[in-house]
Structure 1
Amino acid sequence: MAAAASNADAIAHRRTLWRWHFYAGLFVMPLLLVLAITGTIYCFQPQIEPLLYRDRMVVADTHGPQLSRDVLLAKAAASEPRGAVPTLAQIETNRTRSAEFVFRLPSGESESVYVNPYDGAVLGTLSVEHRLMKQVRNLHRGLMLGKTGELLMELAGCWTLVMIGTGIALWWPDQWPDRAKARQGGVWLPRLSLEGRAWWRDLHAVGGIWLAAGALFFVLSGLPWSGSWGKEFKALATSASLGYPKGAWGQAHVHSTAPSAAQQAAKPADEHAMHGMSMKMDDLPLKQTPWAVGATTVPGSADVSTPAARVSIDDIVALASRNGVADDYGIALPNAPTGVYTVSYFPADPRAERTLHIDQYSGRVLSDIGYSGYGRVAKWISYGTSLHMGRYFGLANQIVCSVISLGLATLAVSGFVMWMKRRPARALGAPTRPVRRPPMRVWRGGLALVGVIFPLMGATMLAVWCFDRLAFGAKRTLA
């Protein structure tokens, strides 16, 4: 009797885990395919874009002198429609790359203009919002559905944690470690001699265990960038000095003097929004901003009562170089009397990340934020982000990320095939609920903890539990 009860408990335990794995997979499966494919494509952005837009991004090196960036900006501005405002200068020292400037158009959209740095010829334009890699990134982060899509992708990441945990538990051999069982196959290597659903099961289970660590890393390194939980987590980390420490600006002037009423009335509405006192780094038109500084406030230049000359872009580039920022970074341009130049350096090695805010009139560095000033959490996330994007150790990093991503896509497909092979006609095919309710206190506690850390996840877990009770509460089985 005791043995029978123990066996019934084991069956109930496994079936309960299977049900949670099934529900997690049912939701995550299509989104995981999108994440895997778009993530793989975006990982190779540095190689893809120069090939895709070669006529605009690549120039012949004449080995002659290059025009100043202010002259190049003027030529780019002359090619844009009336009312276009320059917002960003992208800096690269590669002599075979064109100069890139971003403009905010009267329509509200943004456009990159590419200029030959040797003769000043305008090579063409690209819509910032509609270029391929921007679309891929938007799909990856939010299915191009705005806030709704971001929440769905955030939930997909959270439910992937459930899928990983339950998947490992379902894979785990009953008497581990058992070398004899491991040699039989189906534990570390799939049994390719099997056929039908059993073959797909081995592929899914064994592939899943090999990819579990990579999947977990992708989730944990991606969630801090999510639009809902990630934003709140960043604010919390910043306030607790675990992101960018509060009050670490130094002694430099960091706030502008309030402009006069006449100046305020003369400013366009969008400049009020872009250069208000509460403007954050994440609001700037930069291609990428280090996670640690995204929630920090952008300082302002000292307001002047009489017109003053603005420091040139070449001077800002020289200043950035003296401060250790040499190549492949963005300079957000000031578009108001109290605006600043913001240099944002987001390199492959997070230890070199740098953010400089520079007074547009005097060229004085108002704040200098580097990796050494980050809190512990921000340092971890910086490394995680670089690895997640396939940047930290070059092409090898890109290949590893691609293998993991495409492997996860294969798991999604194999899980779908297994479901279709076992699903009855006109039925969901969820594993039936066991008659015996196993205690599983550790698992329930773990799910509750995940629900507390990720409130949106907790709400959906409760919804799934209610749906399961109402729709399938009467359908229980022992096997």
Structure 2
Amino acid sequence: MSTTTTQRTAALTGMPNAGYRTLWRWHFYAGLFVMPFLIVLAITGTLYCFQPQIEPLLYPHRLIVEPRATARLGEDTLLAKARAAMPRGAAAVTAVIAGAPDRSAEFVFRLPDGEKQSVYLNPYSGEVLGTLSAEHRFMQVDRMLHRKLLLGKPGELLMELAACWTLVMIGTGVALWWPREKTSLRAALTPSFALKGRALWRNIHAVMGIWLALGALAFVLTGLPWSGSWGKQFKALASAANLGAPPGSWGGLPLRSVLPGGRGERATVGDTSAAAQSAHGSPAEHSEHEAHASNADSMPGMVMDDLPLPLTPWAVGNTPVPSSVDAHAHASEALPLGRIVALTASLGVTDGYNIALPASPTGVYTVSYFPADPKQERTLYIDQYSGAVLKDIRYGDYGAVSKAVSYGTSLHMGRYFGVANQILCAAISLGLAGMAVTGCVMWWKRRPQRALGAPSRERAAPPMRGWKAALVLLGIVFPLMGATLVAVWLADRAFFGRTSRRDPDAQPS
């Protein structure tokens, strides 16, 4: 009996190959959608993993300085020099605290047109080394490509869909690979270079895929909590269920405050935040935005994710930002940045963190420490007048979900165990790009002319209740994907049914 006849008989009689073509068909549709996004994710993700090594090579004259035996200038002196170097109307929003002797000092400003720009200084002499656009520097562009294809919200949703469909691709791919009949596990895990043509491509694709499946699954599951739609809902759910950062970690200070000198109404914590203030600049530095900033100050629900910080721990993203309290309402000036840095050091955070600066009378200093080890993560809110710590969130305050996400994030970004973590992430990412390429080659080799080339349906497909239940569950957990699953199923029935049946003996890809 020929191989083709055996395959046909297997499909009709319920042998181990029954259901194979149905799985292959869904694997094909998932791969068709995911492949281009997978290549973008692989390349941009690999580059971003090596950000600590790449950026100093791209901007050596701004980021790197010659270490000196003399003491570094104080943060307030450096901030004053940075302000003097920026155009009129620019507002300082973030201070980057890096204590390495060969690194420059960095401050981020919001320009009058709304753009953010970093200015770099030699911390020993105060010399201005140059500026970089915070939004258009190479690694930020790479990060936005990775997250949203530089297309804003639509791109963010597309990337989220691609991640969800990758789950379908992984599941169906493993099922297609699963050893059948007399195939040994060892043979299924080892590429056979004795094969030629499309059979060789198929073998490499299958073996490479199974070795990468676990890593791909880990990438998807650790990346989805940061997605723009599902990720935000998941974070809100985790917080509401007390599985994220617990809401009860406030200090004993009053949770309401007035502007210094009684210049305003009392404001509830969360109604006024450094997030909105930093977004529009302070009234003193941005007179043209004063009315706008005042309106933003009164907006309720400002949270940590709104602050002008490059990265913050996932667990604190929905944490309300407090206001400076009224215990020192008579004070007319905020504490200098140097005092905040010294206070932060006394609390155990000495290097490698960012401070969002207060930009209104009720703003706070927000310290965000996001190191490679999740257990060391720290978020501090400090009253700008008294220096009182209004809130101190540590890893131990996180819920179970947030702790898991923190570890997943560190591993996903290649930060947790150093260069070895970076290399592992790069290997998985580039391997997935290779999977996309081999899949595309196989499709190209077997595609019929003037047709999509989707695998044919089985003439007597088994019920496959388990797979259908899994897809329904996936659609419920990820509603956006659920909608596209239905759309693909309808399109397959309406447009691709007849064309697919022309290729009953095609080999799987």
TM-score, normalised by the number of residues in structure 2? 0.89
Match of 1:282 in 2: 305
Specify the alignment match of 1:378 in structure 2: 402
> Displacement of 1:254 after TM fit?
3.9
Letter in 1 for 2:324: S
Aligned counterpart in structure 2 of residue 406 of structure 1, from 430, 438, 442: 430
Which amino acid letter does the alignment assign opposite residue 197 of structure 2? G
Preserved CA contact (<8 Å) 1:40 1:402: yes
Residues 272 and 317 of structure 1: CA distance in aligned 2, closer, same or farther (over 3 Å): farther
Contact 2:245 2:397 in 1 (8 A): yes
Give the one of 172, 185, 195 matched to 1:166. 172
| CA distance in structure 1 between the partners assigned to 2:457 and 2:10 by the alignment | 19
Give the Cα separation in 2 of the matches to 1:336 and 1:345: 23
What's the counterpart of residue 58 of structure 2? 52
Instruction: Name which of 132, 135, 139 aligns with 1:129.
Output: 135
- Distance between the aligned counterparts of 1:190 and 1:307, measured in 2? 73
Aligned to 1:317: 341
Instruction: Give 1:369's match in structure 2, choosing from 370, 373, 393.
Output: 393
Seen in structure 2, the aligned counterparts of structure 1 residues 255 and 146 have a Cα distance that, compared at 3 Å, is: farther
**Are 1:63 and 2:69 matched, yes or no?**
yes
Pick one of 293, 297, 302 that aligns with 2:325. Answer: 302
Which amino acid in the other structure matches residue 83 of structure 1? G
After superposition, the C-alpha distances for 1:48-74 in whole angstroms (9 at most, x for unaligned) are 111111101111112101111111001
* 47-56 or 138-147, which deviates more: 47-56
Deviates more, 1:448-457 or 1:265-274: 265-274
Q: 3-state DSSP class of the match of 1:409?
A: helix
Give yes or no for contact 2:11–2:18 (8 Å, CA) kept in 1. no
Q: Aligned residue for 1:269?
A: 292
Q: 1:335-350 to 2 correspondence within 5 Å? A: 335-350=359-374
Distance, in Å, in 1 between the alignment partners of 2:85 and 2:295 is 26
2:481 matched to 1:457? yes
Structure 1 residue 155 and structure 2 residue 161: aligned? yes
Pick from 87, 90, 101 the counterpart of residue 84 of structure 1: 90
SS across alignment from 1:75: helix
1-structure distance, mates of 2:140, 2:44: 11
In the alignment, is the contact (CA less than 8 A) between 2:12 and 2:460 conserved in 1? no
Question: Secondary structure of the residue that 1:159 maps to in structure 2?
Answer: helix
Aligned partner of 1:94 in structure 2 is 100
- CA separation of 1:173/1:425 partners in 2, compared to 1, >3 Å: closer, same or farther? same
Aligned residues: 472
Alignment partners' CA distance in 2, 1:455 and 1:235: 16
Letter in 2 for 1:450: L
Percent identity over the alignment is: 61
| Number of the residue aligned with 1:21 | 27
Q: Which blocks of at least 5 consecutive residues in structure 2 are unaligned?
A: 1-8, 267-271, 273-282
Question: In structure 2, do the counterparts of structure 1 residues 174 and 255 end up closer, same or farther at CA, with 3 Å as the change threshold?
Answer: farther
Q: SS state of the match for residue 343, structure 1?
A: strand
Stretches of structure 1 lacking an aligned partner (at least 5 in a row): none
Q: 1:90-113, CA deviations, whole angstroms, 9 ceiling, x for partnerless residues? A: 001111111100000001010000
Cα deviation per residue 1:352-382 (whole Å; 9 max; x = unaligned)? Answer: 0000000000000000000000000000000
Residue 416 (structure 2) pairs with residue 392 (structure 1): yes
Residue 467 (structure 1) aligned with residue 473 (structure 2): no
Q: Which moved more, 1:271-280 or 1:393-402?
A: 271-280
Instruction: Work out the CA distance in 2 between the residues paired with 1:410 and 1:428.
Output: 22
Distance 2:192 2:105 in 1: 55
* Counterpart contact for 1:189–1:206, Cα < 8 Å: yes
Whether 1:143 and 2:149 are equivalent positions in the alignment is yes
Distance in 1 of aligned mates of 2:363 and 2:16: 65
**Matches of 1:466 and 1:13, distance apart in 2:** 19
**Which moves more between the two structures, 269-278 or 46-55?**
269-278
CA distance in 2, matches of 1:271, 1:408: 49
- 2:225 aligns with 224
Displacement, 1:308? 2.0
Distance (whole Å) between structure 1 residues aligned to residue 418 and residue 70 of structure 2: 31
Return the letter of the residue paired with 2:201.
W
Length-normalised TM-score, structure 1: 0.94
Q: Matched residues in 1 for 2:25 and 2:252: separation? A: 58
Alignment of 1:120 with 2:126, yes or no, is: yes
Give the 3-state SS of the residue equivalent to 2:171 in structure 1: helix
Give me the whole-angstrom Cα distance separating, in 1, the residues matched to 2:51 and 2:42: 15
> Paired residue for 1:205?
206
Instruction: Specify the code of the residue in structure 2 equivalent to 1:195.
Output: K
* Cα gap change, 1:173 to 1:277, in 2 (>3 Å): same
CA distance in 2, matches of 1:438, 1:135: 47
Cα displacement (A) at 1:8: 4.8
CA distance in 1, matches of 2:323, 2:32: 49
Q: CA deviation at 1:248?
A: 2.6
Q: CA deviation at 1:197?
A: 0.5
Q: What's the Cα RMSD here?
A: 2.0
